[in-house]
Structure 1
Amino acid sequence: MPDPLYDKAHPKKGRRTYRPADFTYDPDIGTCLCPAGKTLYQNGSNCIHNGYVATKFSGALRDCLPCDQRAKCLRTPEKTKVRQVSFFRGKADSSEESHTGRMQQAIDSEEGRRRYGQRFATVEPVFGNIRHNKRLNRFTLRSQKKVDAQWKLFCLVHNIEKLARHGYAANG
């Protein structure tokens, strides 16, 4: 017999909770039964998790709370109210174009290059002037209303400086 102090292998842990294989899933009619025999509600049929399409199910509160198999079904039964389980149906279709891909195509087109090139002459210098030259590079207030007011004040300073520099009052 090997020395018990020398054997560094971890003892096998028994399964503590039910796995998705313990649930009865019928993909044809879209139903799922838990090990206690209760019907779970479908709350997502084409969910994508890590590139795989899944169907999600969730137990009912009236079924899960009084269930005697709660400790075997949930990892933390004192915190979690109902059991949720997902059944994966395969890899997600990667041929569907992403928003980023569509934006790349729009910018890489002739019209997109022309319009995006104009942006550097109209918008970017304003941000650069406000952030770098005036050193207004962070908001000091909190809440959207206050930040919006502070941003409008920054823009007002920028516009007043433009009027002063180009002699708006001197020509009139």
Structure 2
Amino acid sequence: MARAASPRSTRGKGRRAEEQPHRQREPKMATSKGVIQGYTGVATVDAAHQIIVDAQAHGVGAEQELLLKAISATASLRTPETLITADAGYHSEANLRALAEAQVPALIADGNMRKRDARFANQDRYTTLLNPLHDKSKPARKPLVVFGPEAFQYDPVARTCVCPAGKSLYRKGAQNITRDHIGEHFRGAKRDCGPCGLRAQCLRTPNTTPVRNVAFFRGRVSTQRVNHSAVMRERIDAPAGRARYAHRFATVKPVFANLRANKRLDRFTLRGRVKVDTQWKLYCLVHNIEKLAHAGYAA
């Protein structure tokens, strides 16, 4: 099997801002645990020996922005047979398009990969309770039921629309395209929607929304663009793709477990991207030295 390089990331907060009189503004990152001030540490790991071949720290929480940077940094180390694997955090149509244009072999998971895998059909039984310190969810609200498009009388031939109150809506433009969908968009008149007795049933926010808008779609725009996400799904769902992608777990996860648990780098202790990047590279260097020593290079 070809050697694989697998980027992965870890996050850590900087020290509290009150500790220094001349504070340096740390970047704010949106994460699954809310918005934090900190950095993201990315490492690209060689599958053959679990050696970190590239390490970077950035002040962004979106891993999608870091994939191409990590791949560019390892360009001199890769061969045409090198396979890049990464988790769903790095998946985006733009990234997959760039990899295809650069002819870089890759297997990038998407958010629904495990849902399509029969081996994970019973994974919900292992779900644990959320950490109450990081549970940012709000109490579920009762869904507000309003008139849907089916409640409107739409005539596709005459291209007219009548609301449940019997008022005709204005058609917006000859043809509208929304996310590659072609449709008819209609808008109510203020003189009709303002005094209407069905506002509470027709508008989600009747106190602030002046009129009702409704759309009826009849098809999609025919395009010649390649859907790289669909191509990647077919590739990673194939038996050969799943077998090769499964090696990523044994490649990169032990490396981050060593850095976070054994080396106790569960948070960065410096401020500023340059210092944090240096600290991250230093820990990764120590990991590599241990790997070399265990392989007999220290003898």
- TM-score for the superposition, normalised by structure 2: 0.27
**Greater C-alpha Rg:** 1
Q: Which protein has the bigger helix share?
A: 1
- TM-score for the superposition, normalised by structure 1: 0.46
